[in-house]
Structure 1
């Protein structure tokens, strides 16, 4: 936790205690369950006022927040210097903990950008995922690598700039792109001067910025000048370039009444997830349409607020100056001010006002609804494909996946995740501490976890194992020995290795009665679905293993220091975050906490440093 934030001890969810002890400062609050898992992260201008609103006006809360309060057992808060810091910290903590009651943008990532550095001689277009403060020009972001490659394909087809990457290297003869008239050939001296090439590059920049009308007018004037000067070959090239640009932009019938850059948002709610569509208009023309999925059911207002706060900070200065919303969201002025600070430009959040914007919002909402319907149908289709390819006897309505995590056999744990109708069913997740197996024995650990899971009853249709053929055979022998009346079907998923028969190191799916893995193409939806289930089990197993390892470290160090009880240990860990941070702090820093004297601080640091040595 950054040192400028003040992290305070955990509070019980007692209305009287919270009224008396919570600060009125801006900051972030974290609801936790009895196992200390973070359930929800929120931001507040006034922590006391916001937290108390959950406990006083319970009937006005959404169903999701009421479920949160039933599960929550305690509250942790972090005080910040101002509201902007609270926005940033809230976003970072949501990314870190992925709380189950927050609405989380699933594809929150750095999107690909196109980069042109005008300082280079004969610049080319590069692809990056992060902007730098290097005075280069950045364009995008693009919703996917495919969308970015399509944009590059169009540019290189229309504008003959060089394709070679990196600094320009002189050649004895130009490449094939020059012969095809796809490049002006700056690699060979004398073919094109810097002034002509940079003029072409300015046209590329105008095209990427959406300034198509001005660009076409400029090209027409150049074509007429070339024609009048009897430079017919040059005029023909310019004519072809104009036609190519028109072919790209003329199908674009979606326009805005104004020429400002803006995004128009649409949203659709589903069971456990939300789809948001972003229609990006630049210079009055629709430049791109992207879709995004968030986990967590919500109201339209909550979904839009979560999306805006998680998506637009990634864009920085490339964010548009206006975001058109289909409905109001709370704290508009505060979010606008925060985005201005993060993106280094003013950004307004407005509902649609004129008929043009209302028409675009309706289009975005219809697209979001269509994507939601496709998503719902896609899950069923993937499960049918899964049944077909793995030769399952029955439809895999309920799938569970088992993963083991340990460090050379120590602190071994097993995790079981459950998917029903293709979606996570977190209430059916299970965690197991390995009790019977000692040392490194993955097969026996897997057998133990599966045996104990079977003891809970309500077995899945398909039991997926994170491992190879050996794990599958070990569990299959166990299932056979148990002689269950209706056993689950088995499959395993292993990380791709260096098998020369496989072109890529994609993951392999093994089933019983088959020597070789079931082959899927790298982009096959069934493979991606099984990988997502395996990744969820792996994430949970790693999380459980780390928690157990951390608990062992705490118990083996802090608990052995004289005069340091559980409450003081919790206070130290809540404030400093880790045993290592406590060890590296001075006794004077430790003594600033209530209940820690300077003498006790000296004892703590001396003990931990001796233990390290």
Structure 2
């Protein structure tokens, strides 16, 4: 790993003009390409204290061994050169939208004697009308197959067409009336061209006119008692309506726009785009990409549009309007670049209100679902889990397989209501029946390291007690109801993961040493840079950005955080309600529990009338008056902010299963797990 200072150029040697720069590794390969308005300012930012760099930038500057730059005349030229170099070198530390397919379009070759309708990709050709894009390709193939019933234009290749001309026999489509068979003279070149022109008009947004015309002809045929012809026209109308159903009108009919949205975490981002043509959603496309470089949302959108439209440059493939979730960096230069590609102005903007903003929200929901699905597939695949466990074992140098991993997290607000969580992963999957939560009081609650020491001590003291009292496990037959095996706390983990850096790791390691345990390994995962810390190590272990082992540690850490913060919120709400009810004279524990169970939250109690309190079992007129007087003094803001409780003030009650706050969580179920109980004793 190279030291960035070994190849840092002198500041005075770097120009202050716009330009594009490349970082190269010792083998000369380009590992990162970037652009800058001021090269000196941008390049200097890479050679600051390594601790101030993000994890991805830190990895990039230590992978590289040299940097070079090219001065250009303007920011627009820098944008164009950056895109060219990214496509040429495919640097590993640049965001790459890995989809080498261009959009599929419905194309009609109006430049030929007998125009042909086909699904076409690639560069735009002369005298070809394009409609779309459609994605996936199956959607346009099904649409074309339906349209051939009404507009039976030629779809065969030149070779098939010539062979039919020579033999005088049409292909199968000619026999089933899905082709007018111009190859054998069933239709004149002029009439066939008019048929192709009508198909283009229908795809161009004039479908309603054709449907009304066919319905009128159907009525005339029925009036003339030509029922077979009327039935065929009826089927044609239904076919065209099916095409309209596939591409429902969502905006004004003259709307042509691509609508982008994204959902992201620290490591990955899911991108979705809806293609709206003539007011209809013609297609949808999506990517899940690795966020290799540290970039702002605006920079991310800039790179996205560069790669999407740079790969599909050409004429009317770019819509008149591009809607994005955030304003791109260098939006003026990006707009000029898009205008040059399209040959006309492109309206690049962020929708704020109205129908387009509503549709943007739908696109964003699709992106969020795509990211969740990608994460769940990564977490649920047994091969991926096995690879992650093996990689983590080898990286940490643990001699035994990581069959059981326990992760601990501390949660509090300003040192109050300090709690901790323990989550368990066995064979890469969460074991919710073994989850535990801890209430921390006294001296142990003074800071995070003391709390971590207390939690690890309590957990492993219980492990030693249960191990001492457990019946030895031997091979042989046992009765079906035999329960003499080890209890749950008597199963030691192969690895203890703590949420934090060196102080938390040192506290956990010290607790194990004080208990005489030397066969349990401890690591910490620090949130800021996702560094893995080992006891007594001066430097952290940096796992690769796309490492399966890192994904596993993050999922376990985030689940521990979710479990801890859920318990903390519940404990805080209980203490808040309890402190209010403690001021009510004559309200004992039993009646207090009854009031909580009846109303469920401080907000509802504050809004309750005297008659509402009288409806609670055991509450008489004088106690109802006291409750009304006391709760009327509670500020509305405090009542609004207090979460709902389940009517019990016991710290052993199971927390609600709310979503994890981290980027990649272990899948959780909506009902409380049976093992979600307190381990404070």
Q: How do residues 104-143 of structure 1 correspond to structure 2 at under 5 angstroms?
A: 104-143=96-135
Which residue in 2 is equivalent to 1:30?
22
1:252 to 1:291, Cα distance in 2 relative to 1, 3 A: same
Do the aligned partners of 1:398 and 1:460 also contact (CA within 8 Å) in 2?
A: no
TM-aligned CA deviation for residue 357 of structure 1: 1.1
Q: Does 1:263 align with 2:268?
A: no
CA distance in 2, matches of 1:269, 1:164: 44
Q: How does 1:279-298 map to 2 (within 5 A)?
A: 279-296=274-291
Partner residue in 1 for 2:43: 51
- Distance in 2, Cα, partners of 1:225 & 1:194: 29
Q: Using structure 1 for the length normalisation, give the TM-score.
A: 0.55
**CA 1:131/1:98 → structure 2, altered by over 3 Å: closer, same or farther?**
closer
Mapping of 1:175-574 within 5 angstroms?
175-189=171-185, 191-217=186-212, 219-220=214-215, 236-250=231-245, 252-253=247-248, 255-257=250-252, 259-270=254-265, 272-296=267-291, 299-315=296-312, 316-317=314-315, 318-381=317-380, 383-384=381-382, 386=383, 395-397=386-388
Distance change >3 Å, CA 165–CA 67, structure 1 → 2: same
Deviation at 1:133, TM superposition (A): 4.4
CA distance in 2 between partners of 1:63 and 1:294 (Å): 17
Q: Structure 1's 52 and 342: CA in aligned 2 closer, same or farther, altered over 3 A? A: farther
Shift of 1:91: 1.8
Deviations 1:472-493 (A, max 9, x none): xxxxxxxxxxxxxxxxxxxxxx
Q: Secondary structure at the match of 1:290?
A: strand
**Which residues of structure 2 form unaligned runs of 5+?**
402-546, 548-681
SS of aligned partner of 1:192: coil
Q: How far apart are the structure 2 equivalents of 1:57 and 1:193?
A: 77
Conserved 8 A contact 2:119-2:141: no
Question: 1:254/1:162 Cα in 2 relative to 1: closer, same or farther (>3 Å)?
Answer: closer
How far the C-alpha of 1:375 sits from its partner, in A, is: 0.9
Per-residue CA deviation, residues 486-512 of structure 1 (Å, 9 max, x unaligned), is: xxxxxxxxxxxxxxxxxxxxxxxxxxx
Equivalent runs, 1:10-25 vs 2, <5 Å: 14=8, 17-18=10-11, 20-25=12-17
Q: Distance in 2 between matches of 1:329 and 1:60?
A: 25
What is the aligned partner in structure 1 of residue 415 from structure 2?
Answer: none
Q: 1:102 is matched with which residue?
A: 94
Q: CA shift at 1:344, angstroms?
A: 2.3
Q: More displaced, 33-42 or 113-122? A: 33-42
Q: Which residue of 1 aligns with 2:582?
A: none
Change (3 A) 1:251 1:109: closer
Per-residue deviation at 1:345? 2.6
Find the aligned partners of 1:23 and 1:248 in 2 and give their Cα distance.
58
For residue 44 of structure 1, report the CA deviation from its aligned partner.
3.0
> Which one is further off, 96-105 or 229-238?
229-238
**Cα drift, residue 368 of structure 1:** 0.3
**Matched-pair contact (CA < 8 Å) for 2:147–2:239:** no
Shift in Å, 1:146: 3.5
Tell me the equivalent position of 2:67: 75
The corresponding residue for 2:33 is 41
CA–CA distance in 2 between the matches of 1:397 and 1:158?
55
Change (3 A) 1:336 1:210: same
SS at match of 1:187: helix
Distance 1:458 1:108, change over 3 A: farther
Give me the whole-angstrom Cα distance separating, in 1, the residues matched to 2:31 and 2:233.
Answer: 60
Gapped runs of 5+ residues in structure 1?
A: 1-9, 388-393, 400-417, 429-455, 462-535, 537-613
CA contact (8 A) 2:19 2:69 kept: yes
The higher radius of gyration belongs to 2
- Give, in angstroms, the shift of residue 120 of structure 1: 1.2
- Displacement of 1:232 after TM fit? 7.1
Aligned length: 392
Whether contact under 8 Å (2:107, 2:131) holds in the other structure is: yes
Question: Cα distance, 1:264 vs. partner?
Answer: 1.0
